[in-house]
Amino acid sequence: MKKKQQDLKRLLFNIASLVDLGQEVTSAKGIDEKMKTALYVVTGMFSVPKAGLFVYNADRHKLELVTCKGIKDADGTSIDVQTKYIKAFQKNTPYNISEARNNSFYERNAEAFRRLQAKTLIPLFAKDEFVGAICLGKRLSRTSYLHSEKDTLKVVASQMAITLHNSSLFKKIKNQVNENKKLYQNMRHIYHDTIQAFAAAIDAKDVYTRNHSYRVARYAVAVARELRWKAKEVEGIYIAGLLHDIGKLIIDKGLLNKGETLSAAEIQEIKRHPQISYDILSKIKFPWKDVVDFVKHHHERIDGTGYPDELKDPDLSDGVKILAVADAFDAMTTKRTYRKKLSLFDALREVNKCLGTQFDNRISKVFFKVLQKEIKGEIKEAQILPHLDKDFDPTIITTLLESITAELSY
């Protein structure tokens, strides 16, 4: 009667422990903690003070320690497992190490088994794949495993094998994702570098527009950020800024650098560049939306008198409007073949004068606000200010910007 009661208690404890194990291996904990807790469940079930859990590294033919209990300085412990041994293992079945003292598997790993004080090895198989092993030390009860206990160990081992298998799959996927991320980042850098090189080539065609594309891209980024565009959209307008004049590569260099007044035909020729830019860029599948649209229409005007399509306000996107202001502002604040550069004060007044005809009020107001913030040092990474001449009076410019933006608010 007493024996039956003890068996029943043991059975209940084992069931409860299996429930604990099930909860642990399916929990949201990190895999390392999950494995450690699972090992504690097993060692608690069978009163084993020392144990180790190993994962199989197929490339190295080694069992590598994942976690252990009660063993000091066990880090880096591994067990040599050749294919012939794996074939000899019975799936998830406890294996008495002391009975195998004379075989080559034990001899090869005698030092590791001694360090782990291992008495029992349970090879872990998920389906037919060898995934790891549990090494158990001497039991506190000093008893050997009963038949029923060996059966319980098999159940525990299959559950841990599946967890180990899933975790190694998860790790593989995670590594692959990280690898892909790195590749993507590298490609992005190459992409950016290539585009920058193109921008430099575009600007090099006209001696007066050196770095123009880069500055337009930066100014556009400043406005887009102020408008709280998403990072990818900001990147898109940056690229559009760098490439907006790519069509000029096709225009005759002599014409671009001609100092005298241009004839009507020559003006028409230069005006072809947004369409040419579009023709070149529309062949490329950009990862950013609307780059091609921004580039094609950066010379359009709110009043519909721009080129190439004479689009009016409702048909112009914010990106186009941003690029239009950024492009014109940079043209005004740098020296051109046909005129001297304007002072910052005059350039801002010129933009203000063209509001509602050439430039969009709302976008221009944002441009003024960003510049104001940059002058006041309210923006960490200034995009416009570093490219402007430093000979202006910040108080005068700030006052001007305040009065323009106040006027625009009405």
Partner 1 sequence: MNNFSIALKSSNDLVVIMPKGYVNDLGAERLESTCEQFFNKGIRKVVINFSDMQYLNSIGASVFTGMVQKTLEYKGLLCFTNIKKIHLDVFNMLGITKHVKVFKEELEAINFLKGKK
Q: Under the rule (CB under 8 A), what is the footprint of partner 1?
A: 6, 9-10, 13, 16-17, 20-21, 33, 36-37, 40-50, 69-70, 139-143
CB 188 within 8 A of CB 205: no
Smallest distance from the beta carbon of 40 to partner 1, in angstroms?
A: 4
Residue 137 CB: number of other CB atoms within 10 A?
Answer: 21
Shortest Å distance, C-beta 37 to partner 1: 6
Sheet bearing 118-126, strands edge to edge? 78-80, 62-69, 51-57, 129-137, 118-126, 95-96
Nearest residue (CB) to partner 1, 37 versus 166: 37
Dihedrals phi, psi of 210, to nearest 5 degrees: -55, 130
Question: Cβ 66 to partner 1, closest distance in Å?
Answer: 15
Q: Which C-beta is closer to partner 1: that of 151 or that of 350?
A: 151
Shortest Å distance, C-beta 9 to partner 1: 6
Q: How far apart, in whole angstroms, are the C-alpha atoms of residue 304 and residue 114?
A: 86
- The encoded tokens of residue 312 equal 């009016």
Task: State which residue, 141 or 261, has the beta carbon closest to partner 1.
Answer: 141
Q: Which is nearer to partner 1, 14 or 333 (CB)?
A: 14
The answer to whether 127 touches 39, Cβ cutoff 8 Å, is no
Distances (CA, A) of 313 to 59, 202, 329, 399: 64, 28, 19, 29
Closest approach, Cβ 92 to partner 1, in A, equals: 19
| Residue closer to partner 1, measured from CB, 1 or 406 | 1
Distance of closest approach, residue 55 Cβ to partner 1, in angstroms: 19
Tokens of 50: 């020392």
Beta carbons within 8 Å of 145's beta carbon, 6+ residues apart:
46, 94, 120, 153
Task: Please identify, using beta-carbon distances, which residue of 17 and 196 lies nearer to partner 1.
Answer: 17
